[in-house]
Amino acid sequence: MTPEPAAMPAGKTLLFGVGLGPGEPDYMTVRARDIILRADRLVHFCKRGRRGNARVTADAVIAPDSAREIELAFPVTIEVPVEDEGYTGPIAAFYDEAAARLATEMEAGRTLAVLCDGDPFFYGSFMHLWRRLAHRFPTEIVPGVTGMAGAWTRAEAPITWGDDVMTVLPGTLSEAELTRRLRDTDAAVIMKLGRNLPKVRRALQASGLIDRAIYAERATMAGQVIARLSEKADDEAPYFSMVLVPGEGRRL
C-alpha cells in the first residue's frame, strides 16, 4: 500500500526546486515525490513543442494534468560559449519572463514545484529562476542524484580512488583550456558535449586520457549507451551525454 505524501508546511514554502535524479524514476527521493504530489503547479523546462525530460520522469508518480502544469519552453537550446550574445540575450530574457510568470502564481498563494533533471544546483536551469525569486518567496531545494552519478554507476566505473582529485568540465571550454585542465586532474567528468565532442576528443587525446575515457549517453534512461570513447565511431552526442575519466588512485 502506497503511503500518503507528507503535507507541506502551510503558509511557508512557495517555491520548490525539485531534483528528480538522472532519469530512472526509482532514483527519485521520497521528498521529491511528496512535493510533486502536493504542489499546486508543476513547472518544467522543455524544448518548444515537446515535454521536458524531468516531466517525463515524473510520469511515474503523477499523470499529466493541464490544469496544474506550466511549461517553460526555451527560446534557444544549443550550447554555445557564454559570451555569445546570440545565446545569452534571448536566454536571459526568457528567465526574466519565466520568473515574472511564476511570481504571479506565488503572489496568488500557489505552491510551485519546478521539476529538475539531476540536482537543481548542478548545471541546472532552475538556478537562474532561484537567483531571481528566492529572495522574494520562501524556497526549498530538494537535492537529486546527479546525471554523472547515474552515469558512472551504470558504467560500473568508480570515479575517484584514495586521494584522487576530480574535475567537472563543460565541453564549451576552449580546446586548449580543456587540455590544460585534463592534464592537471586525476579524474574528470566532461558535460555539455553536443557539437563539442570532436574538440573534447582531441583534448583527451592530447592529455593522454583517451584510453580511460568512457562515453555515457542517457545513462539510467531508456536507450542508454555506455561505451569506450575510443570505440565510438561518430561524433554525435545528444543533450543527455557526457564523458567520464575514472581516476587511478590509491587502492587497498
CATH number for the domain spanning 156: value is 3.30.950.10
Residue 76 lies in a domain: yes
* Side-chain half-sphere CA neighbours of 156 within 13 A: 1
Q: Please tell me the predicted confidence (pLDDT) of residue 81.
A: 53
The least confident of 43-57, 95-109, 132-146 is 43-57
Residue where a domain stops, chosen among 81, 114, 145: 145
Residue 9 lies in a domain: no
Residue 107 lies in a domain: yes
Residue where a domain stops, chosen among 127, 145, 163: 145
Residues 64 and 119 in one domain: yes
Q: Are 78 and 47 in contact (CB under 8 A)?
A: no
Residue 200 lies in a domain: yes
Summarize the confidence of residues 90-95 as an average pLDDT. 92
| Residue 41 burial (CB count, 10 A) | 17
Mean of per-residue pLDDT scores for the chain: 92
Rounded to an integer, what distance in angstroms lies between the CA atom of residue 26 and that of residue 32? 11
Residues 161 and 139 in one domain: no
Domain span including residue 25? 15-145
- DSSP SS3 for 148: helix
Q: Please tell me the predicted confidence (pLDDT) of residue 8.
A: 46
Q: Which residue has the higher pLDDT, 2 or 21?
A: 21
Residues 137 and 156 in one domain: no
Q: Are 15 and 133 in contact (CB under 8 A)?
A: yes
Residues 152 and 141 in one domain: no
Residues 89 and 153 in one domain: no
Q: What's the start-to-end Cα distance of the chain, in Å?
A: 44
- The share of the chain scoring above pLDDT 70, in percent, equals 91
Residues 163 and 129 in one domain: no
Please say if the pLDDT value at position 169 is more than 50. Answer: yes
Residues 62 and 137 in one domain: yes
Residue 77 lies in a domain: yes
Beta bridge partners of 110: none
The tally of domains found in the chain comes to 2
Please say if the pLDDT value at position 207 is more than 60. Answer: yes
Rounded to an integer, what distance in angstroms lies between the CA atom of residue 152 and that of residue 156? 6
Summarize the confidence of residues 106-124 as an average pLDDT. 97
Q: Please tell me the predicted confidence (pLDDT) of residue 49.
A: 83
Indicate the pairing of strand 15-19 with strand 166-170.
Answer: unpaired
Q: Please tell me the predicted confidence (pLDDT) of residue 90.
A: 86
Summarize the confidence of residues 172-178 as an average pLDDT. 97
Residue 8 lies in a domain: no
Q: Are 224 and 195 in contact (CB under 8 A)?
A: no
Q: Which residue has the higher pLDDT, 76 or 1?
A: 76
Residues 106 and 218 in one domain: no
208-222: pLDDT as tens digits: 999 999 999 999 999
Q: Please tell me the predicted confidence (pLDDT) of residue 167.
A: 98
* Chain centroid, CA 89 distance in Å: 22
Residue with cell 592529455: 207
Q: Please tell me the predicted confidence (pLDDT) of residue 77.
A: 60
Residues 206 and 92 in one domain: no
Q: What is the CATH number of the domain that holds 133?
A: 3.40.1010.10
Residue 7 lies in a domain: no
Q: Please tell me the predicted confidence (pLDDT) of residue 85.
A: 63
Torsion sign across C-alpha atoms 104, 106, 108, 113 = positive
Residues 30 and 118 in one domain: yes
Residue where a domain stops, chosen among 125, 145, 165: 145
Residues 103 and 167 in one domain: no
Please say if the pLDDT value at position 3 is more than 50. Answer: no
Residue with cell 570505440: 231
- DSSP SS3 for 17: strand
Q: Are 185 and 166 in contact (CB under 8 A)?
A: yes
Residues 30 and 123 in one domain: yes
Alpha helix positions (H), the chain: 30-38, 53-58, 85-107, 126-133, 147-154, 175-183, 197-206
